[in-house]
Structure 1
Amino acid sequence: MKRLAVGPMTTPEYNEWWVKRINDNIPEQSHENNQSIKEYLRVVPSELEIIKQDFEWRNVELKKKIEQIEEEKMNLRLDADV
Structure 2
Amino acid sequence: MMKRLTAGSMTTPEYGEWRNKRVIPSELEIIKQDFEKRNLELEKKIERLKEKKKMHLRLDVDVQKLEAEKLKKRKNKVEKDLDSLKTDYKKLRVSMRTAGLGKTSEQWRQEIQGERNKADRWERKAQETQAQKEGLEWQMLETQNHQAELKARIVELERSL
Interval containing the TM-score (normalised by the shorter chain)? 0.5 to 0.7
Residue aligning to 2:74: none
Residue aligning to 1:58: 38
* Structure index of larger Rg: 2
1:71 to 26, 51, 58: 51
| Alpha-carbon separation, structure 1, partners of 2:17 and 2:48 | 46
How many residue pairs were aligned? Answer: 56
Amino acid at match of 1:74: K
Q: For 1:1-80, list aligned pairs within 5 A.
A: 25=6, 27-31=7-11, 35=15, 37-38=17-18, 40-41=19-20, 42-80=22-60
Amino acid at match of 2:41: E
| Alpha-carbon separation, structure 1, partners of 2:37 and 2:44 | 11
Normalised by the length of structure 2, the TM-score is 0.31
Q: What RMSD over aligned residues (CA atoms) do the two structures have, in Å?
A: 2.2
Distance 1:67 1:46, change over 3 A: same
Query: Per-residue deviation at 1:31?
Result: 5.0
Residue aligning to 1:10: none
Amino acid at match of 2:47: E
Distance 1:50 1:28, change over 3 A: same
**Offset from partner CA, 1:11-33 (integer Å, 9 cap, x none):** xxxxxxxxxxxxx54x412159x
**Offset from partner CA, 1:24-49 (integer Å, 9 cap, x none):** 54x412159x73622x1201011111
What is the SS of the residue equivalent to 2:15? coil
Query: Gaps spanning 5+ residues in structure 2: where?
Result: 63-161
Identity of aligned residues (%): 43
Residue aligning to 1:17: none
